[in-house]
Structure 1
């Protein structure tokens, strides 16, 4: 077998001891008789067996000349150090080893029969290029520093992975060009400098087997398990994506096993919540918490005894439990952390505080299911790794704060991504001015956008106030009937005149609910339940033996928090909440596509339905790209999405606890206006007196009546488009006709004049019935509002 078989390399390998024999040539002339004699003996071996000097690639010669090779390498591999040094003789870029120290042999033997020795961080392509750079150094004098640390990963008898760093001694090597070698010019060298990753180029300049390598390398190997484990921990923590990987914790088990030299360790983490004085489980990294036994959260005082609490939280020092079972017996199971470990079958553990100058941030937990393997002695090895863990947790905390801020901004404020650049610009200016003038705090710049076109739309629940009142009446009437039932169960001999007065009060309240329900009626009846009925029923339960079933029935139906029956109102509230949730989700989903068409400001509000504002214009996009076509496109998009939202609502109306109707309305404002972010209200509003007219119309128009009638412009089953200018009417009639062609609107288009609002005159409306669509198999069916109601009720 030839050592060059199945290897792609610019170097044709030959094992040779020529360079070593040249060293002995010099030593043979030494004045030291012992040294000279020994050197002559080695040189005689080279003379007697010329293949050892000239070089060979036949692996069988290694076995055939094993004794002679060992004699030549006798000084290099001293018998006195063979059990201490980890050392090999080999050829480069090859796993073939032909001489090794006893310690190296024992390490390989311990690893097991199935272990295969190979350099872990040597990619195949890199191997070829590295060989080329060695040729550039040896043959052309270009000092290219490509020294990288190479490692072996070898398990010990317990299966714990050890890391061994390899340092090469290349004193006994020579590289000779063959007739295949191409002359490397300065231009070639400069081209290669910028093309390390281009393996094809390197192969072109250095063809396979175009140089001969004669010699061997000595590998001096060192156990760097501690250093490499620390480096692996550091690397794992530096990479953000790794820290969020579900496999992150599993890799930590192996790293800490290598660091501490203990097999089958488990690593856990828990977060310290300072505000709650509690430990919390870490999610997203596949980590357990052995301290709180995977509960979501647990108070520190319930997790630790007094001593361990002070040790971790006050002193910020680690502690170990080398024998859990023993301590559990001594403490009689009263130490919370010991009891928790014992419950999980853990036999030894180390708890290390992850703390900085501001105090505790979390706990690193290392556990074993074997006693005494974790203790206060090997806990000291954590000193070198904790700074990296602390830094990673600090970074994670900062990222979490930023994420929380981003969520708050997205969910709780009106700073839409389309305008965030303006806020960042103002914040950067504020920061610079603050740093320049630390004595006087600068004012935050005004955030405003001029010449933007507004769009407003809403889907409102029709008759929501009446529906809420009806739900309230039903709840109150039901509760009054339950009170009356209890009073009717009072025995004759227990009846008092005051009970007759209570029954009379119930009749009065029932009459008010049916005939004269006022603003304060609900409050009066609720007060009656709280102050007159409930104390009496509690007295009956404690002191009397009658009406117990009726009283239990009463209290079982009364909401514990509200003190009243909350059944019909709950159905109403849940219906409104579900309508808002579903409509908002659909609108948000459609908005993603709209933003991709052309960026614009967008905000929505949940009321008894869903409202949304949009503003589009040059000042928002910050680029010279705005055209009126984007405004017209957004108006059509809004009309289509409003239709889709209402169509979606009615097709899914069966999911809501109670049946309600909605009405859709769009407000068209012809002229551009200015908007300004109001810092006190944390939202955008129109800027200037003239523009305020838009806000007035927006707030009042859905309650407007058709001129000369008592009919409101917004009606269930119809889309209402409010406007004031003729050109808006022409534009939106085009959109309506387009959507009629899509079977979205009916043919009953109305042009209506509206009664004047306070300070606003000349409003008109296009109103058209919607045709609701429903997929049935491969066919679409179409309904008017009346058809749909019949279908739903059928």
Structure 2
């Protein structure tokens, strides 16, 4: 843009005033015109800004009415070059503000990027030259530090009455079509430069800026914008910005801001968690009882009356009484000299405390505190929103950790929740409708600890035997010291229990022996503990007892730890592999930890809510499931040596080819099958792993083998293809067998494929194969 400083438009007004009937006004206008007359360049315009110094005196005369000497110490006013930070005349007050800011201060408009400046100039041209008034009005600001280093905000209002815009031969004609295109492309500076090429217009004249100190208003606005943002507490700049805003509002450089939250249930103040956040009321404490943090008067002032209070001189208040108030003491300890405590409260009562402190006495006082009246509503609103967000987050965490809704079906729950909200809003009877999915194909699998009951019983018997022998040792030693019949009776009972452990351990044996220890043995030990010779033996006995379960818990702990580790590792591996399965096709997935890990998968059109389901996705998931079971078997035996107890596992897959319906049980917070016919699937799931091969006493599940249970011939053929394919990939061995299952209650005709897993000494990275890979292999 070709910018030229010119006073032509202003001088034209003086030409009119020179013809005035008021002799004083006319004489003054003529004198100004005479002052300019020898210097035609002041009318024609000049681009060399150095000439501003040359014509300094003449410009002063021309602008004397615009810059009144009477108001120069009050008004903040400048004359400047359009679209440039070049000021050539200003009021005395503006000069003082700039001098105070310091020699290294660079004056610039804070909220006006260079590209915006270009586009704004173009919008001005559209109005001046083409009559397209875009009404582009937005406030511009200077941000200037005062003598205390506190940033103050100054709003700029431009008077453009003395500007002329002249088209050059480089200017393009702007059509209605061009105008409409520009309306939708404000941020496309390239397009604006195409329509308005550089130096295609002359900006001739100058602008007068009337400037106003709006620090208070801007500080309030900044507080609003700072509090509106999401997750601001997590950013380091949040509290830094907050401090600067309050420093500007209250005009204090060394001011600090803190917060504490009020917990009504506990009647205590709590720390607010966020980057850079502090509480001067709590200091280093996480929480403090309100009664311990405040005196009676300040407690009533904040919590009952919800009014602010100040301590203008902390040292004076501290020294005034022999036992200072708790809040005064804690401020004094931190070196704070004056403070304001303002309640963050709504109609429901106190939510928290805004704490403003300074290391200087008397600068924070009750007069100063009144300036907070304008900002507290925004802080209250922000805290209300924050509390609501925290409650929602708590509910979300509870749902995620305790009643998780799988992502594949979350859309359906969200849909019903929206309908529930809509019904409540319309004052209709709101009810959360049944969540059900029809025509769903189930997949079920488990990797189960083989012989878990026997292993648990063995560990229990070993622990009980150790504890019985330890007690027996005490009583046998007691007999040698003091031969009482009761000791011999205890030894006899212990021998009976040991015999029972060896030969006929029953379900209630553990409970009987535990009662014997608690009611008889421990009472006797307390009685004979006075015998010095027995004290070490009795101490040793009690040292062996686990504090939590109150029994000797060595072998059982090893077993329980092993089961927990197996479950954790297998569940973790399954979760990791599930990511790949979801990528194949979205489906519902859930797993459970028992003595091993079970998983359910449901796949179908009604879950994905898209017209995309094809049986090939079911085949892919079945093949994936079989591969994963092989992977889990391998992973288990590779880490088995790390477990306290060497246990074996057996894997099983249940194939159910008929689609079924599932629904969410609100009372149990989980999905279950719907209908009598579909219940057969659940019955098979619960009983099949305990089933025997027909005509034998051998369980269908066996360590080292994958068992695939099915009822339909097509299922058998389908899985034989999967097995053959995985044999070629060295997942499975060649010893495939087909067996019939002994009839279960209400379920007959089940068969099973059993095949050995091929194990690897080291875990190799293996890719998963798809159903298409299988088809290629068969065709090859």
8 Å Cα contact 2:78/2:90 also seen in 1: yes
Deviation at 1:456, TM superposition (A): 0.7
Query: Matched residue of 2:89: which SS?
Result: strand
The 1-side partners of 2:420 and 2:455 are apart by 50
The aligned residue for residue 100 of structure 1 is 90
The aligned residue for residue 530 of structure 1 is 518
8 Å Cα contact 2:476/2:487 also seen in 1: no
Classify 1:591/1:101 alpha carbon distance in 2 versus 1 (closer, same or farther; 3 Å).
same
Q: Counterparts of 1:215-234 in structure 2 under 5 Å? A: 215-234=205-224
Q: Counterparts of 1:104-503 in structure 2 under 5 Å? A: 104-293=94-283, 295-330=285-320, 335-413=325-403, 415-432=405-422, 438=428, 441=429, 444-484=432-472, 497-503=485-491
Match of 2:743 among 728, 732, 756: 756
Deviation at 1:534, TM superposition (A): 4.3
The aligned residue for residue 517 of structure 1 is 505
Q: For 1:69-125, what per-residue CA distance to the aligned partner results, in whole angstroms no more than 9, with x for missing partners? A: 222222222222222222111112211111122222222222222221111111111
The 2-side partners of 1:336 and 1:655 are apart by 56
The aligned residue for residue 593 of structure 1 is 580
Report which stretch shifted further, 356-365 or 380-389.
356-365
8 Å Cα contact 1:447/1:677 also seen in 2: yes
The 1-side partners of 2:593 and 2:332 are apart by 51
Q: For 1:281-335, what per-residue CA distance to the aligned partner results, in whole angstroms no more than 9, with x for missing partners? A: 3335442334334555454444444444433333333333444444445566775
Q: Root-mean-square deviation (CA), in Å?
A: 3.0
Q: For 1:19-53, what per-residue CA distance to the aligned partner results, in whole angstroms no more than 9, with x for missing partners? A: 22222223323333333332222212111222222
8 Å Cα contact 1:253/1:264 also seen in 2: no
8 Å Cα contact 2:651/2:706 also seen in 1: yes
The aligned residue for residue 775 of structure 2 is none
Q: Does 1:564 align with 2:551?
A: yes
Deviation at 1:599, TM superposition (A): 2.0
Q: Does 1:618 align with 2:608?
A: no
Q: Does 1:698 align with 2:689?
A: no
Query: Matched residue of 2:688: which SS?
Result: helix
Query: Matched residue of 1:690: which SS?
Result: helix
The 1-side partners of 2:97 and 2:514 are apart by 83
Classify 1:322/1:551 alpha carbon distance in 2 versus 1 (closer, same or farther; 3 Å).
farther
8 Å Cα contact 1:237/1:243 also seen in 2: no
8 Å Cα contact 2:736/2:753 also seen in 1: yes
Q: Does 1:23 align with 2:13?
A: yes
Count, aligned residues: 766
The aligned residue for residue 649 of structure 1 is 636
The 2-side partners of 1:223 and 1:561 are apart by 70
Match of 1:86 among 76, 93, 99: 76
8 Å Cα contact 1:460/1:662 also seen in 2: yes
Q: For 1:269-290, what per-residue CA distance to the aligned partner results, in whole angstroms no more than 9, with x for missing partners? A: 3333444444443335442334
Deviation at 1:655, TM superposition (A): 4.5
Q: For 1:407-457, what per-residue CA distance to the aligned partner results, in whole angstroms no more than 9, with x for missing partners? A: 33333336433223333444444555556675xx46543332222111111
Q: For 1:258-279, what per-residue CA distance to the aligned partner results, in whole angstroms no more than 9, with x for missing partners? A: 2222224333333334444444
Deviation at 1:339, TM superposition (A): 4.4
Deviation at 1:492, TM superposition (A): 7.0
The aligned residue for residue 630 of structure 1 is 617
8 Å Cα contact 1:236/1:243 also seen in 2: no
Deviation at 1:371, TM superposition (A): 3.9
Report which stretch shifted further, 264-273 or 162-171.
264-273
Report which stretch shifted further, 416-425 or 750-759.
416-425
8 Å Cα contact 1:318/1:350 also seen in 2: yes
The aligned residue for residue 785 of structure 1 is none
- Give the TM-score, by structure 1 length: 0.89
The aligned residue for residue 790 of structure 1 is none
Query: Matched residue of 1:209: which SS?
Result: coil
Q: For 1:112-146, what per-residue CA distance to the aligned partner results, in whole angstroms no more than 9, with x for missing partners? A: 22221111111111111100111111222222211
The 1-side partners of 2:254 and 2:208 are apart by 35
Deviation at 1:490, TM superposition (A): 6.0
Classify 1:463/1:296 alpha carbon distance in 2 versus 1 (closer, same or farther; 3 Å).
farther
The 1-side partners of 2:755 and 2:440 are apart by 28
Q: For 1:182-241, what per-residue CA distance to the aligned partner results, in whole angstroms no more than 9, with x for missing partners? A: 222233222222221221221122111111112111111111111111111111222214
Classify 1:44/1:432 alpha carbon distance in 2 versus 1 (closer, same or farther; 3 Å).
closer
Match of 2:3 among 13, 16, 26: 13
Query: Matched residue of 1:636: which SS?
Result: helix
Q: Does 1:669 align with 2:656?
A: yes
Name stretches of at least 5 consecutive residues in structure 1 with no aligned partner: 1-10, 781-794
Match of 1:49 among 27, 39, 59: 39
8 Å Cα contact 1:455/1:613 also seen in 2: yes
Deviation at 1:18, TM superposition (A): 1.6
Query: Matched residue of 1:455: which SS?
Result: strand
8 Å Cα contact 2:638/2:762 also seen in 1: no
